[in-house]
Amino acid sequence: MENLSAVLHGVHDLRLENQSPTIPQANEVQIRVQKCGVCMTDVHMLDNGTVGNNIILKEPSVIGHEYSGYVTAVGSDVTNVKAGERVTVDNLVACGHCARCKRGHTNVCFNHGYIGFPPEGRGGLARFATVPATCVHRIPATLDFEEAAMMEPLSVCVSAINRADVKLGDDVIVFGAGPIGLMTSQVARAKGASSVCVADISKERLELARKLGATHTALFGADETDSRTNAQRIRDTLGDCPDIAIECSGVPHCLRTAIYAVRPGGVVAVVGIGPDDVSIPIVDVALREIDIRGCVCNNYCFPASIKLVASEKVMVKPIISHRFRLEEVHHALDLVRDRKVVKVMVDCSDN
């Protein structure tokens, strides 16, 4: 059976190869992939061979961590899905039995892996992928496969909003109007925020943020990097200090702006990943009791993410700006690297 797969062999060495589909083990599910999104993390992996300290490419690995498809085969112990059902895949593989998992904090599991990254592999930039049954979620008939493939990035946003603990009536500032910022702002509204301001350097992206429900936007020039001045602009735009700041850009001066902007006792959630070391105004953090909260992957947020889209509380379709076939995956990743796109979706089906 043909199974064209995007296999990462080394830095800048991504090859399209035909691999035979993996027969599912007792607790695994084989999926005929339909759609797979790509993001900056894939580009980072391709350009560096690593993400953070614990994802390191040592052996060839199939990439793609945002995907959906049909179940084609299930192992003997699988009870949650059947062949023929439409599903999406949570890329977090948690062990389920370490102290963190037992406390319900699965995204910082001591033994976790990520589908679509080494050493786990099993990525969705392929015709077929075989994954643990615990990672597979059925999707309702109202979601198409593109929307279903957006559940992975959306789950990151839902997890971040849970971490930030957005409450009814809160004012929220979101930095960055990329796919994550554009979905995070919608989830914040769905959670009950009364005002959500999105900040970015792109006028077009901010227009999209407005269409998707942001109540305010703040357009900054690329050279406007003074964090105190920018924080004041955000306070003026919202009419008050935001209660919560969600940093989705990974840009160091945005993180500093977030800290200066929030009210005393406010929360800064760190979602965007930028340089390893960033200087922040730590005295300001201490004296105003700001909570800085790290956010990674998602903590069992797929069910909520699926329902948010099915109930039209969150719109993901307008965020998809470009579509490619699996055979064009190199070009798709180049466009993501150049930031010329919002969200790129790859069609992995062979029809």
Residues at the contact surface with Zn ion, assessed by CB under 5 A: 39, 41, 94-95, 98, 101, 109
- Whichever of 231 and 336 has its CB closer to Zn ion, that residue is 336
Please state, in angstroms and rounded to a whole number, the distance separating the CA atoms of residues 15 and 4: 10
Ordered DSSP codes for 168-180: TT-EEEEE--SHH
Name the token pair of 95.
């062990």
Cβ distance to Zn ion smaller for residue 36 or 231: 36
Nearer to Zn ion, 94 or 238 (CB): 94
Least gap, CB of 125 to Zn ion (angstroms)? 12
Give the nearer residue to Zn ion in terms of CB position, either 94 or 262: 94
Pick the closer one to Zn ion by CB: 35 or 256. Answer: 35
- Residue 16's alpha-carbon distances to 7, 50, 67, 191, 194, in angstroms, are 6, 20, 17, 41, 47
Residue 334: CB partners within 8 Å, gap ≥ 6? none
- In the bound state with Zn ion, the residue whose beta carbon lies nearer, of 154 and 234, is 154
Q: Using DSSP, state whether 206 is helix, strand or coil.
A: helix
In three-state secondary structure terms, 164 is helix
The angle subtended at Cα 146 by Cα 351 and Cα 31, nearest 5°, is: 60
For residues 144 and 345, give the distance between their C-alpha atoms in angstroms, rounded to a whole number: 13
Q: How far is the CB of 89 from Zn ion (least distance, A)?
A: 12
d(CA 351, CA 346): 13
With respect to Zn ion, which residue has the nearer C-beta, 105 or 263? 105
Least distance (Å) from Zn ion to the CB of residue 6? Answer: 14
Task: Provide the residue type at 129 as one letter.
Answer: A
Burial degree of 301 (CB within 10 A; 0-12, 13-18, 19+):
buried
| Closest distance to Zn ion from the beta carbon of 105 (Å) | 9
Which is closer to Zn ion, CB of 137 or CB of 233? 137
Contacts of 249 (CB under 8 A, 6+ apart): 175, 176, 178, 181, 200, 272, 274
Per the structure block, which two tokens stand in for 7? 């296999």
